Amino acid sequence: MSFDTDVLISGAGAAGLTLAIDLARRGVSFRLIEQNTLPFSGSRGKGIQPRTMEIFEDLGVVDRMAAAGGPYPPLCQYRADGTHKMSVLTEADVSPTAAEPYAAPLMLPQFATEAVMRERLSELGHHSHFGTRLTGFEQDAHGVTVRMEHEAGEQVVRARFLVGTDGGRSFVRHALKINFPGEALGVRAIVADVQLKGLDRSAWHRFQFGPPQTQIMICPLAGTDLFQIQAPVALDGDIDLSSAGLTALIGDRTGRGDITVRSVSWSSVYTMSARLADRYRIGRVLIAGDAAHVHPPTGGQGLNTSVQDAYNLGWKLASVLSGGAEILLDSYEAERRPIASNMLRLSTRLLGEVKQGTMRRDREARQLDLGYRGSLLNVPGSAARKVQAGDRAPDAPCCGQGGQRTRLFNIFQGTHWTLLGYQPHDRPSAIPGVRIVIVGAGYELVDEDGDIAEAYGTEPGEWVLVRPDGYIAGIFPATGLQQKLLRYLAHTLPSRPHDTLGES
């Protein structure tokens, strides 16, 4: 049976682009389609959380993202009497550590984030097919027959898998008849990217005179000359989103006549809800990102959760396509749906706090503690003093025996699994698709400052197996390592691991 592509991805936003980049670097054939004729031009998701920064480092774009954006500004809250107070949005202690190299969120408008990702995808030899709309599909035991429509007419494509990253109104989710339960949150808001005069760019300005319908926030968008306006509005009725209309809204809610909107580059009116798909997969069709979960924007969780969905799915699809066990795809929903459920609770709670005038963001919002301790893929009983199976694998600075400084994240970067040994007596035999790296005298890494020992708490002779997405699969003792490792990998690595899980 012939196929036109291995994976058809419908939706070229942050989730679709992440999946495409990951599949591209693994040598998996795919097609990325987007029904809109042009890329998204707004700033809707403007916060990149530290865990997502780690993912972007693995995908080779973190420095470009950082260069395009900037730190969150302090919050300036204005009172009705004209006075104001300054505060920070995150906890005071957000300095990087050896184990957590990215501590504070990065501000980067969504359109700029996706532009960097499209550039990376182009470097890998691929691009998004804009103006291509998914119109239907049927699946069988071997693949999915997909019908598409574009400028040149209709087209039928045969793919092994279809992934819907096509947003909250997902065509793929609707076609699969997946329930999308949740609730409307009783909040309607505008968001607009504008050029204006009358406010400086050194702070995120919040004017709070009373109930939500009197509030407005105006935030300078890092890396641009734009401001983002956010304001609750009535649940019904038309909203004037022109320059004059937004200027009038600002004047009404700030009591100031010196703030003028000069131009509007993008705007939207939306009603907030919190919804979570009952399922993430039916057969050979899967959903990810906003197609699987929608939520209020508070806390900057949405784009990040979408990126992490795709990052979790990419290596599993690649492995299954090369003969890996079906349990990998079973684990996708099992791992990611609870994360989304918790994220919906967090963003809804933060929305309530915003209504009360609080905008602080604690460690939970930074997503560094998210993990998969109950995963189907974990080696049972795997725990060290500091970490256990399902935890995010910490970073740590160290030194190579060649004399150069490096980090564990440099070792993990790529499409492989990593087997990290701590002061073992001997080295196991090579395993295709697994990079074996040993810390200790006479081996390749030197834990000069004890950062690896501090982060992992492993005993001499123990081995940590790290998944391609940077989470710990298991912790093995030295006794019987090779046999236990091969038994585990037989259920997770493809039958031909060098095809997709080697360095690329």
In a domain, 450, yes or no: yes
Instruction: State the CATH number of the domain containing residue 157.
Output: 3.50.50.60
Find residue 474's DSSP bridge partners. 465
In a domain, 254, yes or no: no
Q: How many helices and strands in the chain, by DSSP H and E?
A: 11, 26
In a domain, 208, yes or no: no
In a domain, 252, yes or no: no
Q: What digits encode the pLDDT tens for the residues 40-71?
A: 999 999 999 999 999 999 999 999 999 999 99
pLDDT at 496 over 60: no
Q: What digits encode the pLDDT tens for the residues 441-454?
A: 899 999 999 999 99
In a domain, 90, yes or no: no
Task: Give pLDDT, residue 85.
Answer: 82
Q: What digits encode the pLDDT tens for the residues 64-109?
A: 999 999 999 999 998 877 778 887 766 555 789 999 999 999 999 9
Find residue 180's DSSP bridge partners. none
The three-state secondary structure class of 313 is helix
Q: What does the pLDDT average to over 135-162?
A: 97
| Cβ–Cβ < 8 Å for 340, 305 | yes
| Range in 126-130, 133-137, 205-209 the model is least confident about | 205-209
Q: What is the pTM of this model?
A: 0.94
Task: Give pLDDT, residue 500.
Answer: 35
| Same domain for 405 and 483 | yes
| Cβ–Cβ < 8 Å for 359, 47 | no
Q: What digits encode the pLDDT tens for the residues 185-213?
A: 889 999 999 999 999 999 999 997 677 77
| Same domain for 437 and 358 | no
Closest C-alpha among 115, 112, 149, 145 to residue 131 = 149
Q: How far apart are CA 499 and CA 159, in angstroms?
A: 19
Domain coverage including residue 449: 397-499
| Same domain for 316 and 436 | no
